[in-house]
Structure 1
Amino acid sequence: MKKDIRSVRKNIVERKKKRVQGNTSSQSSRPFLPPQDEEVHGFPPLITSNGSGQRPQNEGKRTNYLAVQVVLAVLLFATVAIGKNTDVALLDGPEQWVSSQLQDDFPFAKVSAWYSDRFGGALEVISDEPGPQTDLALPVNGSVTTSFQNDGKGIRMAVDSGSPVQSVKEGTVVFAGNDEDTGKTVILQHEDGSKSIYGFLSDIEVYLYENIPAEHTLGTVQDEAGQSVEIFFGIEQNDQYVDPVKVIKVDESS
């Protein structure tokens, strides 16, 4: 009887040893995983399909992609910064490209015309069928007092006080405010990329980014004494000022 009890106890001890050894080996085979972001902030770890708390594989890919973007941005910034402070010709290309992206005007008039042509609605100011080509008219009746050759950017015209200044053709207002050279000024951007400039206005009757049809009043010119006043009119094509006399029939008699 005593032998049976001893054998039973011996078997129990051996089974306990095997259990302890099995638990120790399984724990040692598991790789060490650093705590996830969720665990650091007090949330439970993400559990994958195999039941472990390993991170998803695409998390590393997203991190690598973001790191590449940051490195490229830093390299571009450093290249432009170095190009600004050195005379290396190789660095002029990136500098000019960045400058052009920051300075180029958005083609508001072209986009507006495209939208109107396809969707119509309140923005539609262009007819579905092209009308007959007409000569551009002056923004206001008057005579030239300062030619393009003398001004360099446009012409100056003497007009009667109270005269309305009108747009020479359809466009979008890209500037409406005070200019250091021409006072109260309105600049229209047209569908072909050109611009028309109207300066020395007494008041402005349009707002920024408004789509303006041809011969629409932009503002007026006033003189307290009722005497004739001057306005400025210029045309810009391909980032260069051109002589309005060569574009529009102008009375140059003083």
Structure 2
Amino acid sequence: MNSRADDIRRRMMKRKKERERMDKMSDNRFFSTEEERHGFDRIPSYDMGPGEGGHPLFKKEVFLFKILASACLVLIIAIIFRSPSEKAVTFQQYVKHTMDQEFQFAAVSDWYENQFGKPLALLPAKNSGEEKENEVASDNEYALPASGKILEDFGDNGQRIMIETGQGAGVEAMDEGLVHFVGIKEGFGKTVIVQHADKSETWYGNLDKIDVNLYEYISKGAKVGTAMDSDDGLKGSFYFAIKKGDDFIDPVQVIKFE
């Protein structure tokens, strides 16, 4: 008799545990993943909320290491600049030269577009809808900045030539590139400097009016400004220069003038 009663109690306890387990599964069904509903283990998620350690791609240890390395680099450079040794002087000159160099936006943009087919989003983009004015013949690689005659040769100053034009004549870009200077340059007056993909620069000086904006990407033949009128108001003139690296070159070697 006792044995039968014990057996009944065991069955009741078993059913009670089974009900509790089923109730627990029912409560957790709304919070379980698709994998758990089909008997698989939960796949770990990297979606972390506030206070759960941040994004997995951001590692605090690596970030702190980079800050420490940057601080050490700055400290080392500061020590070298304070050192009077000859080796330190050589390094100082290299750092100064590097910091003085202009970043070649046009060259980087041209390389990126040739490699990947689209201009880099962080760099100024070319305006594909802009029409090219005064297209030159196919056998001429560059566009003439303006029609006119040379009044001052490159040998007279070693930097530029002076071109005589008609009154109020427009000055056009020799080639496409990035406008990286707009303002007054000593010896050039009101000037526009265009940086090209081959790392060369063209300078257009002695302008009466400027028609481009800083960091604008312009096409070959685009109008950069207007030549300054002469004192008698019958003619106009502007300065034109080509710079490669740290040196100016004679524009006549690159462009055939009339």
TM-score over 0.5 for the alignment? yes
Does residue 102 (structure 1) correspond to residue 108 (structure 2)? The answer is no
CA distance in 2, matches of 1:61, 1:99: 30
1:133–1:115 CA distance, 2 compared to 1 (3 A): farther
2:238 maps to a residue whose letter is I
Please tell me whether the aligned partners of residues 228 and 238 of structure 2 are also in contact (alpha carbons under 8 angstroms).
no
Does residue 80 (structure 1) correspond to residue 87 (structure 2)? The answer is no
- Tell me which residue corresponds to 1:90: 87
Kindly state the Cα deviation for residue 193 of structure 1 after the two structures are TM-superposed.
0.3
Please tell me whether the aligned partners of residues 137 and 249 of structure 1 are also in contact (alpha carbons under 8 angstroms).
no
SS in 1 for 2:256: coil
- Tell me which residue corresponds to 1:233: 240
- Tell me which residue corresponds to 1:22: none
Kindly state the Cα deviation for residue 245 of structure 1 after the two structures are TM-superposed.
0.9
1:133–1:119 CA distance, 2 compared to 1 (3 A): farther
1:119 maps to a residue whose letter is K
Please tell me whether the aligned partners of residues 116 and 125 of structure 1 are also in contact (alpha carbons under 8 angstroms).
no
- Tell me which residue corresponds to 1:42: none
Kindly state the Cα deviation for residue 225 of structure 1 after the two structures are TM-superposed.
4.5
Please tell me whether the aligned partners of residues 161 and 241 of structure 2 are also in contact (alpha carbons under 8 angstroms).
yes
SS in 1 for 2:171: strand
Kindly state the Cα deviation for residue 63 of structure 1 after the two structures are TM-superposed.
7.4
- Tell me which residue corresponds to 1:184: 190
**Which one of 214, 219, 223 corresponds to residue 217 of structure 1?**
223
Structure 1 gap segments, 5+ residues each: 1-57, 127-131
Kindly state the Cα deviation for residue 74 of structure 1 after the two structures are TM-superposed.
1.7
Please tell me whether the aligned partners of residues 228 and 237 of structure 2 are also in contact (alpha carbons under 8 angstroms).
no
1:141 maps to a residue whose letter is S
Kindly state the Cα deviation for residue 68 of structure 1 after the two structures are TM-superposed.
5.8
Q: How many residues align?
A: 186
Kindly state the Cα deviation for residue 181 of structure 1 after the two structures are TM-superposed.
1.7
Regions of 4+ moved over 4 Å: 58-69
Kindly state the Cα deviation for residue 226 of structure 1 after the two structures are TM-superposed.
2.3
- Tell me which residue corresponds to 2:5: none
1:143 maps to a residue whose letter is K
2:106 maps to a residue whose letter is A
CA distance in 1, matches of 2:207, 2:216: 18
Please tell me whether the aligned partners of residues 178 and 185 of structure 1 are also in contact (alpha carbons under 8 angstroms).
yes
Deviations 1:168-217 (A, max 9, x none): 11111010111122111000110000011000000100011111100110
Richer in helix (by share):
1
Deviations 1:129-185 (A, max 9, x none): xxx663323201111111111111011112111100000111110101111221110
1:246 maps to a residue whose letter is Q
